Structure formats: C-alpha cells, structure tokens
Chains A and B, each alone.
Chain A
C-alpha cells in the first residue's frame, strides 16, 4: 500500500514537470471543444431536445468529451508496450512487486494530474464560454467522483490488457490502435451513445467501453438518476472487477512467455 502511494506520488511529480505538453494539450482540447460545440449545435438546429439530451446538455457533452481525453488516455497509451520492446520490463520483473498494481499506481498519478490540469481546468475554461449543465441532485454529485474513479479503473485495466499484447508479438502497436479506436465508438466519445441507433447501443452495452466515459457524461449532464444511476455504477464496478481479473490472468501467461532482448 505504501509502495502504491509512493509510486503514485513519483508519477504525479513526473507528470507535473511536463508543463509544455500539458499546456499544448489544453489548448488543443479547448479549440476542438469549441469546434465540436459548433457542429453539434448546428446539427440540433431547431430541436430543443434529442433522446433526452437538451441543447445545453449536448454542449456540456462536447466539452466533457474533450476534458476526458487526457486522463483516460483516449488517444492511446503504449508505455507498457514500449517497456517490453526496449527490455525495460526486465527491471520491473526483477522487483518483488505486482506488475499490474505497479503500472496502476503510475497511471493513477498520470490520471490525477491530467484530470485536474486538463479536465477540471478545461471545464472551468469552457464554463466561461457556455452555459454548462451540472449534476442536479446531491446523489448525482456524490456519484460523480465514484463514476470517474471507476471509469479510470476500467480504462486502465483495458489499456493494460491491450498493452500485454506486446508479450505475444513484436508489433502490437497496430493491435493497440485498433483497441483505442474501438473504444472511441463504443464509449460515447465520438457521439453520446443515446444518439446512436438502438442496435449500436445494445452492442456497445455488451462491451466495457460505455462505462468508461458515457456513464460519467450522462451523470454529469443529469440524464442518469435513480435506479438507472445505481445500475450504471454497479455495471461499472462489475466490469472493473472482470477486467482486473482478466488482466491478472493474462499477465501470468504473458510473463511466462517473455523474451527479454539484449545482453
């Protein structure tokens, strides 16, 4: 536990030093957010509400979709994969620690820095530009951090799984990209899932992706409440447990077939 905390702390410190990258990312997310808002508002036209999402709701969604990019690493995360290819993985496996939690602690540090600097900060900036929706009830406010944490856990477990492919093939990056693109479609990153045709939503609900992002978004813009909210959180939790379990199992198999290059 202490180790987990120390690793997270180190990771936070490291990510705080990437100031230029953070700023550049922030600006990009901001500009793209404005563009998405413009497009979505144009699509709404005269409509006041589509599938339960109001105009202010869709604007908030557009802003949120940009705010989550960094802390959920939506555009890809290949650190673990690279460490396998460079052989640095040997240094990690020489240490008596759980490989999964080792990476999780570091990703937590990364996520915290990015949630604050490129998530919360971005939403504050957007709120100067637009009338944004926020959670309505105390329960929604309480559920929000939970949904964010579970969403990150799910995202991390998924990214961990994808990265493990590096243990099987010397060019897993393509496979990784495919995984990330898949998550864009089904997590509601490209469009709120509610706006997709029903069959797509049903398909998406068979995957873990909606629980990474869509749940957080719907909670934030206030369309998720009551029993549906409880169910959404429960589903998040179940998927998290499932993927962590799968990660642990695959990790065991991965480490056994490791070939460390060089030396």
Chain B
C-alpha cells in the first residue's frame, strides 16, 4: 500500500511577460502576454509508508513545487495526486491534519509569539490531547535541544534555532508524513548533524514517512536510501542511492604505493593521473574495468606495497548528472 501516489502530475505556471518601455506599459494594460512555465512536467512516483526519500535537483528544478502540491498548498494543473488516500487540495483541512511540513525558507510559527506559545496554539489547532502533547514536547525538546529558547519570540531566533522549532512544530501532532523542503539550508555543521539525527530518529522510531529536498548531499548520504532526481520538471532518476552511484559513479580512483620507485608505471585500461616517487594514482571507468583486474595488471609488472580504491563522492556524481544531463535519454 502506497502512502503517496503520483501519476502524470504536472504543474504549469503562467508568467506574465512584461513589455519594456512606454509603449510596452500601455500594451500591458490592454493585454497581458503569458509565458507558460512547466514547473513539474508529468512525473510519476509512489512512496510506501516509512520510506525516507531524498528529492534532489538543481535550482528551479521543480522540487518545491512538487512538495507544495503534496502538502495541499498548490492545485496541480493535471495528473493524479493522492496522499494518505486523499487528494490534498480537495480536502485541505483533513489532509494537513495528517501531515507535517517544514519549508526551510519560512516559518510556520507565529513571528511575535514565544516558541512555547506558538506550540501551545498548535496543540489547539491540531486538537492534540494534553498528555500526548506534553509527552511529544518533552521528547522533541530534548532531542532538538529546544530548552534554551522555548521562551524566546520566534522573530529573535537564529536560523538554526528557528529551524529546530519548526521541525518540532511539524511533528507534535504525530503526522504520518513529513515533508521537508531544505531543512538544513544555511545551517552550520553541528546544527545540520543534529537535524539529520532527529529526522533519522523519527523515521525509524516513529515510522514517519519523510520526503526531503536538499542541496546538501551529506543529508542524502546520511539519511536516504532512495533518491529521486528532478530537473526542469522531469523526473530523471528514481531508485536506490547505491544504484545511482553504481550507474553514474563514473570513474574510480586507485592509489597505489610501490615498494620502489619505477620510472614508468602506465598500464592499459587506466589513466595515470599522478605519479610522484613511489605513489601513483590511476583513474578508471567502473564499467570498463574491475578493481581486481587493474590490480592484476599492475602487480604483474610492479611490486605493490599498499593500495586504496576511492569511489567518486556522491557530490561528484550528482554534479555530473546535473551538468552533463547524463540521465537524459
């Protein structure tokens, strides 16, 4: 049973073209010229309960637009969209009662209220029983270290503090699904790590389904088994992070230390990219050569003392996918 079901989902935005100059301004009054932007272009995916999915893509890819539709804030132009068995925008109130959402760029708390009072209002909004509320609040306060600023007005919080408060707010009512749109944007390493641990914890211990967009691939690497990649509105990849790496990890590196310094250590099938004294670094294509074949070739000619094989960083992989359009058929 899928908790999220998306089929041929698409969203168009009308962007009015403003004509320049005096004459343009007059013409704008009479008729507006529209340009249609296909922000989300007929995408399909299903997500099962308890999954933790990373939703990646370069700027303007359509991530936030997708999340807003899933959260019931935007009405799709077309396609099928079901979350928790409901069409989000059609039954907005019932829908949002069962989801949590954090948009990293803005807060869902009340700007001028102290955090604790904002959370208390949410208790009434979601009709959370007092005992559940206290229990969850205590747990989240502890895990997210909210205690020092519970009585501070939201507007005076630092970005990292606000984000933690927002994440707490999104979970107090024990939603089945949590949407996180850039929850680590602009945070320092420690704050990021704390939020990652928290996300992992609620996913594992509470079974909350999580969809996360981010530009920080550390988030993905540490949290997500499954990733979806979108670019210019089209879903380019949907699968295990591992298989993404296997398919597009591209070149691997092997760093070899020899027992002595050889003048020429080139071997066929691999490219020698550095050679300095007893150490040489080779690069080779994953699908052309296995590491063991390469080791065989090298050791048949030279004596190896030590070696390491380095995978391409996920960052590198994703960058290659974005830049070279590797996934486009």
Contacts and interface: CB of A to CB of B under 8 A. Distances in A.
A258 B74 contact: yes
B73 A6 contact: no
A260 interface: yes
B93 A263 contact: no
Contacts of A2: 124
B73 A90 contact: yes
Interface in A55-100: 87-88, 90-91, 93-98
A93 B25 CA distance: 35
Main secondary structure of the interface of A (DSSP, over half): loop
Interface stretch (B106-114, B131-139, B140-148, B254-262): B106-114
A120 interface: no
Nearest to B68: A260
A52 interface: no
A256 B69 CA distance: 11
Nearest to A4: B124
- The number of chain A residues touching the other chain, given as a range, is 20 to 34
Contact of A96 (B94, B101, B103, B117): B94
A10 interface: yes
Chain B: interface size category: 20 to 34
Contacts of B41: none
B14 to A, nearest CB: 9
Given A6-B124, A263-B105, A96 B68 contact: no
Contacts of A257: 75
B247 to A, nearest CB: 30
A259 interface: yes
A215 B89 CA distance: 41
B121 A93 contact: no
Given A14-B112, A95-B125, A256 B93 contact: no
Interface of A: 2-3, 6-7, 10, 14, 87-88, 90-91, 93-98, 255-260, 262-263
21 contacts: A2-B124, A3-B121, A3-B124, A3-B125, A6-B120, A6-B121, A6-B124, A10-B110, A90-B108, A96-B94, A256-B75, A257-B75, A258-B73, A258-B74, A259-B74, A260-B73, A262-B105, A262-B106, A263-B67, A263-B68, A263-B182
Given A6-B121, A95-B108, A96-B93, 6 more contacts: A14-B112, A95-B125, A96-B96, A256-B75, A258-B73, A263-B106
